[in-house]
C-alpha cells in the first residue's frame, strides 16, 4: 500500500530501481553468458580466437545495454511500440534492396561495426507492436474481423520480407512470436484450432511450393540415413555428438565430434550439441533448468506487472523464448527438420543476441516499473 501511493509519481530514484531489479533473472542471464563463452572457447579448439573474442565483446556490450534499458520506464517502451516496428520493417526493406548476401541469402545490413540482421530484431519488435495494439482494446473488439485482419497484416508483412531473403526459419519464428501475442490477447481459440487444421490440410500444397533445399530438409528429417554424407549429415553427426556425451559428457574441451570438425555450424545453431557432448546429460539438464528459470522469471514478472501491456509482452516474450529453445533443441536432437534457429544467448550471432537482450531489457524494465500503469 505504501508502495502504491509512492509510485504514482513517475520519478523513481535510481537506487530504488536498482533494488527492484530481478536478481534471479540477472544471475541466470549472466550464468548463461558465462556458459556460452566457455562453449565458444571450446568451439575455437580451446583457444581464445575470433569467435570467443567477438562473442565476449557482444555479451558485455549487450548486457550493459540491457541494464541500461531496465532503467527506462516501461511507458517509453509502450510509446515506441509502433514506431520501432516500422523502423525494423524499414530495415527489412533496406535489406531486401541493399543487403549483404551470404551463403545464398540476403539477410544482413552492413553497419560498418556490425552486420545487422533485422529479421532477428523483428522477433522482439513484433511482440512490442502487437502488445501495444492490444493494450487498450476491449475484449469484445479483440475478436472483430477488423482487429484480426490488422494483426494478421502486422504479422504477415515482416514474414513476407523475411521469406524473400530467403529465410524460412526466422520468418516462422517471427510468426510464432506474433501468434503468441494474439493468443494471450484473447483471440478466440476456435481461430487457432481452425488455422491449425487448415495448415495441416494445406501442408501437401505448401510442400509443393517449398524450395528444393527446404524439401530436402524435410525428407532428410524424416529419414536422415537417406543420404548420410549429404543432407542427412548434420542430423546424424549432431545426434552422434549428443548421444556419445553420455551421462557426464566427454569433458570440457574433449568433445571429439566438434574438436575433429564433424559437427556442422557448431558456433551457431548446433552449439547445444557441442555443449551436450562435453557436459553430458547432467550438463544439458542443468542448461535447460537455467532456461526454465529464465522463462519462469519472465512470466512471473509479467504476472506482477500492473499494466496489461507489460503482462502481455512478458508472457509473449517468455513463450517466444521458450519456442526458440524448443525448436533449436528439437532440431539438434533430431525431433524437427533443420531450420535455421539460434539458441538464445548461447549461439554465436550479434543480431540474435541483441534482440534477446533488448527483450530481457524490456522485461527487466517491466519488473523495475512493475507498479507503473499505462493509460
Partner 1 sequence: MINSSSDNVRKLNSLNRRMFITGSLKFFIMIGLVSRLFFLQVKENKKYLTLSDKNRIREWKLAPVRGEFLDYFGNIIAGNFEAYQLHIIPEQVENFRYVIYRVKDLLELSDKQFKKILKKKNEIKPWETLIVSDNLSWNKFSKINNHLYDLNGVKPVISISRNYPYKENFTHLIGYVSQANENDIETNEQIKKNFVPGLKVGKVGLEKSFENDLIGTNDIERYEVNAYGRRISQLEFQKGEKGKTIKLTIDTEIQKLTNELLKDQAGSICVMDIYTGSIIAMHSSPSFDPNLFVFGISQDDWQLIRNDPMKPLVNKTLQGNYSPGSTIKPIVALSALENGIINPNFTVKCNGKTEMYGQTYHCWKKKGHGFMNLRNAMKQSCDTYFYEIARRLGVDKLSVTAKKFGLGEKVFGDLFDIEKKGLIPNTEWKKNALGKGWLLGETIITGIGQGYIQTTPIQLCLMTAQIANGGHKIYPKIIVDEDNYDIINDKFTPLYENSKNIKIIQDAMFGSTNEVMGTSYRSRIDNPKYQFAGKTGTAQVKKITEKDRELDLKTFEIPYEDRDHALYIAFGPYKNPRYALSIIVEHGGNGSTTAAPMAKKLFKSIIDRHLLREAINNKKYLEI
Q: Is 101 helix (H, G, I), strand (E, B) or coil?
A: strand
**Residue 237 binds partner 1, judged by CB under 8 A:** yes
* Binding mask of the shown chain, residues 132 to 151, with x at each position contacting partner 1 by CB under 8 A: ------xxx-----------
* Smallest gap from residue 368 Cβ to partner 1 (A): 21
Name the residue nearer to partner 1 (CB basis): 22 or 167. Answer: 22
Window of 118-126, 212-220, 326-334, 346-354 that interacts with partner 1 by CB under 8 A:
326-334
Residue 246 interacts with partner 1 (CB under 8 A): yes or no: yes
Question: In b/e form, how buried is each residue of 155-191, taking b as 16+ CB within 10 angstroms?
Answer: bebbbebbbebbbbbbbbbbbbbbbbbbbbbebeeee
Span interacting with partner 1, options 17-25, 71-79, 169-177, 182-190, rule CB under 8 A: 182-190
* 183 belongs to the binding site for partner 1 (CB under 8 A): yes
Distance of CA 273 to the CA centre of its chain: 18
Show the site string, 254-293: x = touches partner 1 by CB under 8 A, - = not: --xx--xxx-------------x---xx--xx--x---x-
Give me the phi and psi of 40, to 5 degrees please.
-65, -40
Q: What angle do CA 17, 25, 320 make, to 5 degrees?
A: 115
The whole-angstrom separation of Cα 242 and Cα 295 is 24
Measured from the CB atom, the residue of 69 and 313 that comes closer to partner 1 is 313
Residue 312 sits in the site that holds partner 1 (CB under 8 A) = yes
56 scored as a contact of partner 1 (CB under 8 A) = no
Considering only the stretches 24-32, 54-62, 67-75, 302-310, report the one whose residues sit in contact with partner 1 under the rule CB under 8 A.
Answer: 302-310
Minimum distance from CB of 6 to partner 1 (Å)? 23
Of 321, 303, 304, 312, residue with least CA distance to 360 = 321
Give the binding-site size for partner 1 (rule: CB under 8 A).
43
Strands, E assignment, the chain: 100-102, 105-110, 115-116
Sign of CA dihedral 195, 197, 198, 200: positive
Q: Does 305 bind partner 1 (CB under 8 A)?
A: no
Q: What is the closest distance, in whole angstroms, from the C-beta atom of residue 236 to partner 1 in the complex?
A: 8
Q: Residue 7 has which C-alpha cell?
A: 509510485
Residue (125 or 184) nearer to partner 1, CB: 184
The residue behind cell 516496428 is: 85
Question: Quick check: 329 binds partner 1 (CB under 8 A)?
Answer: yes
CA–CA–CA angle 177, 350, 82 (5° rounding): 40
Q: Which is nearer to partner 1, 66 or 314 (CB)?
A: 314
* 330 counts as binding partner 1 under rule CB under 8 A: yes
Q: What is the DSSP letter of 225?
A: G
- Rg of the chain in Å (alpha carbons): 21
d(CA 175, CA 188): 18
Other C-beta atoms closer than 10 Å to the C-beta of 146 total 8
Binding site residues, partner 1, CB under 8 A: 138-140, 183-184, 186, 237, 239-247, 256-257, 260-262, 276, 280-281, 284-285, 288, 292, 295, 299, 302-303, 308, 311-312, 315, 319, 322, 326, 329-330, 333, 335
Amino acid at each position: 500500500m505504501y508502495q502504491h501511493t509512492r509510485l504514482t509519481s513517475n520519478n523513481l530514484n535510481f537506487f530504488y530501481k536498482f533494488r527492484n531489479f530481478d536478481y534471479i533473472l540477472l544471475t541466470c542471464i549472466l550464468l548463461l553468458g558465462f556458459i556460452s563463452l566457455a562453449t565458444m572457447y571450446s568451439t575455437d579448439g580451446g583457444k581464445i580466437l575470433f569467435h570467443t573474442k567477438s562473442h565476449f565483446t557482444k555479451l558485455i556490450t549487450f548486457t550493459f545495454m540491457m541494464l541500461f534499458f531496465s532503467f527506462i520506464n516501461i511507458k517509453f517502451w509502450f510509446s515506441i511500440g509502433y514506431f520501432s516496428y516500422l523502423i525494423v520493417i524499414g530495415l527489412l526493406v533496406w535489406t531486401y534492396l541493399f543487403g549483404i548476401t551470404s551463403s545464398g541469402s540476403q539477410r544482413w545490413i552492413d553497419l560498418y561495426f556490425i552486420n545487422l540482421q533485422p529479421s532477428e530484431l523483428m522477433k522482439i519488435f513484433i511482440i512490442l507492436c502487437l502488445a501495444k495494439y492490444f493494450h487498450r482494446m476491449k475484449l469484445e473488439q479483440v475478436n472483430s474481423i477488423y482487429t484480426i485482419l490488422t494483426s494478421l497484416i502486422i504479422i504477415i508483412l515482416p514474414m513476407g520480407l523475411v521469406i524473400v531473403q530467403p529465410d524460412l526459419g526466422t520468418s516462422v519464428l517471427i510468426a510464432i512470436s506474433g501468434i503468441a501475442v494474439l493468443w494471450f490477447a484473447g483471440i478466440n481459440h476456435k481461430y487457432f484450432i481452425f488455422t491449425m487444421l487448415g495448415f495441416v490440410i494445406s501442408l501437401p500444397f505448401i510442400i509443393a511450393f517449398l524450395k528444393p533445399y527446404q524439401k530436402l530438409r524435410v525428407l532428410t528429417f524424416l529419414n536422415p540415413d537417406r543420404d548420410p554424407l549429404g543432407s542427412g549429415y548434420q542430423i546424424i553427426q549432431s545426434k552422434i555428438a549428443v548421444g556419445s556425451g553420455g551421462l557426464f559428457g566427454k569433458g570440457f574441451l574433449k568433445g571429439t565430434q566438434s574438436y575433429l570438425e564433424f559437427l556442422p555450424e557448431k558456433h551457431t545453431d548446433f552449439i547445444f550439441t557441442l555443449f551436450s557432448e562435453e557436459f553430458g546429460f547432467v550438463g544439458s539438464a542443468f542448461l535447460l533448468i537455467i532456461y526454465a528459470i529464465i522463462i519462469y522469471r519472465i512470466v512471473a514478472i509479467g504476472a506482477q506487472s500492473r499494466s496489461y501491456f507489460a503482462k502481455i509482452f512478458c508472457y509473449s516474450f517468455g513463450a517466444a523464448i521458450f519456442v526458440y529453445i524448443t525448436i533449436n533443441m528439437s532440431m539438434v536432437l533430431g525431433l524437427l527438420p533443420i531450420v535455421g534457429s539460434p539458441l538464445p544467448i548461447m549461439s554465436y550471432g550479434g543480431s540474435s543476441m541483441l534482440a534477446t537482450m533488448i527483450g530481457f531489457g524490456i522485461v527487466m524494465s517491466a519488473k523495475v516499473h512493475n507498479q507503473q500503469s499505462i493509460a
